[in-house]
Structure 1
Amino acid sequence: MLSVEDRAAIMVGLEAALPQARIARSIGHSPSVVCREIARHLGPGGVYKAQDADRAAQVAKRRPKKRLLDRDEALRRRVITDLSQRRTPRQISARLSMEACSTVTPMDNSPHAQGHTISHEAIYTWIDAPPQQDADRARHLPALQVMDA
């Protein structure tokens, strides 16, 4: 995790046109951490600002976060349809990955997931969430119970 001071050092290093590897060494982090930080928080005009980056990072790490299936309507419809047809989360995840890579064509009898993918772990986490925790998920509980029958 980067501190405000680390982000300030990244900003100064970028302004001095230092290589990312050198910036990483100077703050004691791996070059990949610095590279991802810059990629995530590069502002308009390609300028990295430490305070803006720190603020965005603080917002991004807040919990609780909405699950992917709660945020993506098309993906949720597809997963619920596949679960109700007794497909396992692992099968659903694998099929969506193949469809996204154009390895196979989307199934005719399932809603199109628009190229989106999801891990089987994320599907299991969504299924196992307490219904009272998420009103939207609770609406779909009858379809999920078909899977348990």
Structure 2
Amino acid sequence: MRWFQDAGGVINNGAGAGSGRYLSFEEREEIMLRRDRGESRRSIAVALGREPSTIGRELARNSTVRVGYRAGRADEKARDRRRRPKPVKLADCPRLRRVVQGKLKLKWSPRQIALWLPRRFPDDESMRVSHETIYQSLFVQSRGGLRKELTACLRTGRALRKPRVRSRQQEKRGRIPAMINIRERPAEAADRAVPGHWEGDLIIGEDGGSAIGTLVERSTRYCMLVHLPDGRDAEAVRDALIATITTLPAHLTKSLTWDQGVEMTRHADFTIATGIDVYFCDPHSPWQRGSNENTNGLLRQYFPKGTDLSVHTRQHLDDVAAELNGRPRETLNMRTPAEALNQLLSAPLAA
């Protein structure tokens, strides 16, 4: 049993003989001989009945500058790579493990951590790990490295992977007077090149009795949370949005895109008070507010579904927004939304 476990729980682990999937030792000898004769990768592939990309990968993985490609060494290295289980980097590197655990506690996603590490430690190859390795260390405890309780820091909060099956929930929609369709929104908003175009929505609490407003700037992904202590009717949402959006400079308030929820019935009053036009998405088209939808998913880590959202104070909402805006984003080249917005705010001063 110990030998079986050392082989990764697979009989004849690492040999790969006769499967046809892996190159055999005889094929590697043929590659070596033909390569020494100066044949191209494509001609070798034709002779062996393999894809040229297969030969290219084999040569790239197993060739050295000093001796070139040698069949015996290549076959040995291939067997070593196929052995299971492989060493777990997070279990073998305490420093890397501490850094990853610290970022998980700040609710960074594994992908954000994996992309941030090369920026933070550009000259240290040991401080590299893929997001899949982080997930494996969390979900499969036999992979080791990270404590199981850190799964609570993931956006989903799940301790196991499972298929995502979502049922379409039909929401009751009311007619909103004088709606302006998203197709009439300025073209500059669509390409995200010009800042100041926002997307908005509500995240709803238990039994629809409470809500929090969310605003996301399209070019920087900067998030602002709208406190709604007086409920989520049209008047309360209008007043709260006006109070929130007017804290921004004029050049960062050009438009607002919302879905067709009845909470925006008083959108004309909002436009008169702020000078910001409101554009409405098509029904059941959340992709038209993609940045906001993504942010709302992240916020559910802080405000789970089925909970009372009225218990959260304005200060708590500001703290959550600050933490979210402090996470690096791949779409911003691993800058944070706060950094991106600060650049926009300082640009007129620099000019």
* Backbone CA RMSD of aligned residues: 2.6
Q: What does residue 145 of structure 1 align with?
A: 149
Asked if structure 1 preserves the Cα contact closer than 8 Å seen for 2:90 and 2:97, the reply is yes
Find the partner of 2:87 among 66, 84, 94: 66
RCO (CA 8 Å, sep 6+): is it higher in 1 or 2? 1
Query: In the alignment, does 2:134 pair up with 1:123?
Result: yes
In 1, the alpha carbon distance for the partners of 2:151 and 2:106 equals 8
Q: What does residue 97 of structure 2 align with?
A: 76
Q: What does residue 103 of structure 1 align with?
A: none
In 2, the alpha carbon distance for the partners of 1:30 and 1:46 equals 25
Q: SS at the partner of 1:83?
A: helix
Q: SS at the partner of 1:45?
A: coil
The structure whose Rg is larger is 2
Structure 1 pair 29/74, CA: closer, same or farther in 2 (3 Å)?
A: farther
Query: In the alignment, does 2:58 pair up with 1:47?
Result: no
Which blocks of at least 5 consecutive residues in structure 1 are unaligned? 100-105, 107-111
Q: Can you list the C-alpha shifts for 1:69-118, whole angstroms capped at 9, x where unaligned?
A: 23444432221110122222233234336x2xxxxxx3xxxxx5836443
Residue type matched to 1:91 in 2?
A: Q
Query: In the alignment, does 2:26 pair up with 1:8?
Result: no
Instruction: Point out the structure with the larger helix share.
Output: 1
Q: Can you list the C-alpha shifts for 1:42-70, whole angstroms capped at 9, x where unaligned?
A: 24623322122111111111000012323
Q: What does residue 93 of structure 1 align with?
A: 114
Residue type matched to 1:145 in 2?
A: E
Asked if structure 1 preserves the Cα contact closer than 8 Å seen for 2:138 and 2:150, the reply is no
Structure 1 pair 122/21, CA: closer, same or farther in 2 (3 Å)?
A: same
Which blocks of at least 5 consecutive residues in structure 2 are unaligned? 1-21, 154-351
Q: SS at the partner of 2:107?
A: coil
Q: Can you list the C-alpha shifts for 1:2-42, whole angstroms capped at 9, x where unaligned?
A: 11121011011111111111111111222222122112212
Q: What does residue 184 of structure 2 align with?
A: none
The ranges of structure 1 where at least 4 consecutive aligned residues each deviate by more than 4 angstroms after the TM superposition are none
Residue type matched to 2:81 in 1?
A: A
Residue type matched to 1:47 in 2?
A: G
Q: What does residue 109 of structure 1 align with?
A: none
Residue type matched to 2:139 in 1?
A: D
Asked if structure 2 preserves the Cα contact closer than 8 Å seen for 1:84 and 1:147, the reply is no
Find the partner of 1:19 among 37, 40, 46: 40
Instruction: Percent identity, please.
Output: 31
Structure 1 pair 21/73, CA: closer, same or farther in 2 (3 Å)?
A: farther
Asked if structure 2 preserves the Cα contact closer than 8 Å seen for 1:86 and 1:147, the reply is no
